[in-house]
Structure 1
């Protein structure tokens, strides 16, 4: 159990770097293209990588799921969360979105008890509450400065947290991490592809490379998260995700000045 916790912690640390890099690419491309264009390409690319990994990986796997309803719900909140994050990064500075991401441990504690029956210990609630207060202190110019972008960021984090809790729920019944990467991204790519004819804008080769890089990084990040959520409770994973603040500072200064 101790070894599993350490392995899960290491996977989450790597995940934070990967997902922060993916978020940076999202912000880099968000002002040039509509959300459906980015997510249609990246979602289908991640789904394709899942198929290739299942077929040609070290151990061949099936992408069949034993939890179709929970998987469909996870796909739905993944779509909603992805679109919300896209618009949040478009409307807000990179750092302000991460203020809301810092609230996800508290949401995870609430959802874990509600949906998984994993009751958070009083000491853990104290730590989550202290972290929540600390995050509010980071909010620029106080709560009076709340805008539409901030509300969208809040919705994105709620959807993202629910997706992680559902991933842990599904992980109780199946060990196939690739299935949990495949179906939400296939749904995301398919739904966004339906809107693509209305918003499509030709992409230079450089941007196509960035989208391909985004899809590759996202594939690895989401696989790592699903695996880690089998080893750690969601409310234990989300505080570790605050390491994204470190990567956010580095990427925000280096890439976005």
Structure 2
């Protein structure tokens, strides 16, 4: 039964990731109305880099860290080209999501996020040589239907924000697929947090002098909170993507919808409609179906040993 543990642990980590990234997205929505993307991402990337470097200097073992690697060695990589591709895609995804959250309602942006499992499935075959089983395609279809139910109004007409959201979905999924590719070669999760944020700092730092605006202490606090959520979310998802195929992990990330519904009900007394409840149920069922489909071959392998 030990062969089942990676898939279960991966699912738990993805669920934790969705909670932290939802909090970060909420802060992005709040900040994007007052400051330009380079200001948010340059400052937050600097904080994430400081956290990553600080953790790399700790003497104790790290979850998802490289076996037997300590100190600055935790920031090395054996896949420099793949890491460069992941870093570039991460930069593009950050810009895309920032512009999308600035120009569109949450609902429209998350509709594109809901397409990421399908994109991951299409990329997993040629890039990772991970064939998608028929049951997985059926589960992906169920999850997509759930996303549509969650957004009964649909898109209100194409706007520039929708193209930014599509760019973000494509590059964000590509970054996750690259992360799983790197995870096959090395178990150093911290490096996959460090280098993409280094790329963000460099790229955004070039534009920062042209868009800088004075910030209040409260705004700096929001950015610090955003960076903290982002650091741990990206660390956790790197480990999860080493344990789960990208096309399984990305549908589970649709749990962000569930967090939104739960927060709206508990904090604001918003009673979800029947379409929303059906959509949430379908999203959850899709994720459980994919996990079950992933466990079946593992269970057979463990029984055959």
| TM-score, normalisation: structure 1 | 0.94
* Equivalent position of 2:42 in the other structure: 40
For the pair 1:215 / 2:217, whether they are aligned, the reply is: no
Q: For structure 2, list consecutive stretches of 5 or more residues without a partner in the other structure.
A: 62-69, 271-305
Question: 1:99-114 residue pairs with structure 2 within 5 A?
Answer: 99-114=111-126
> How far apart, in 1, do the equivalents of 2:7 and 2:247 lie?
13
Please say if residues 49 and 198 of structure 2, whose CA atoms lie closer than 8 Å, have aligned partners that are also in contact.
yes
Return the structure number with greater relative CO, CA threshold 8 A, min gap 6.
1
Q: Distance in 2 between matches of 1:92 and 1:11?
A: 29
Pick from 106, 109, 122: which aligns with 1:94? 106
CA apart distance, 1:141: 4.1
Write out the 4+ residue segments of structure 1 that deviate beyond 6 Å after TM superposition.
none
Match of 1:211, SS?
helix
2 CA distance for matches of 1:57 and 1:90?
41
The answer as to whether partners of 1:95 and 1:252 remain within 8 angstroms in 2 is: no
Alpha-carbon separation, structure 2, partners of 1:110 and 1:22:
27
Give the aligned partner of residue 8 of structure 2. 6
Matching residue of 1:75? 87
CA displacement at 1:130 relative to structure 2:
2.9
- Contact conserved, 1:113 with 1:120, CA < 8 A, in 2? yes
Contact 1:95 1:248 (8 Å CA) reproduced:
no
Matched, 1:29 2:7: no
8 Å Cα contact 2:40-2:223 kept in structure 1: yes
Cα distance between partner residues in 1 of 2:151 and 2:162:
10
CA RMSD in angstroms, aligned pairs only? 1.7
Q: 1:132 to 1:176 in 2, by over 3 A?
A: same
* 2:20 aligned partner: 18
SS of structure 1 residue aligned to 2:223: helix
Q: Is the 8 A contact 1:12 1:224 kept in 2?
A: yes
SS in 1 for 2:87: helix
- Aligned residue number for residue 298 of structure 2: none
What is the CA deviation profile of residues 10-30 of structure 1, one whole-angstrom value per residue up to 9, with x for unaligned ones?
A: 111100000000000000100
1:131, CA displacement in angstroms? 2.3
Residue 224 of structure 1 is aligned with which of 233, 236, 239? 236
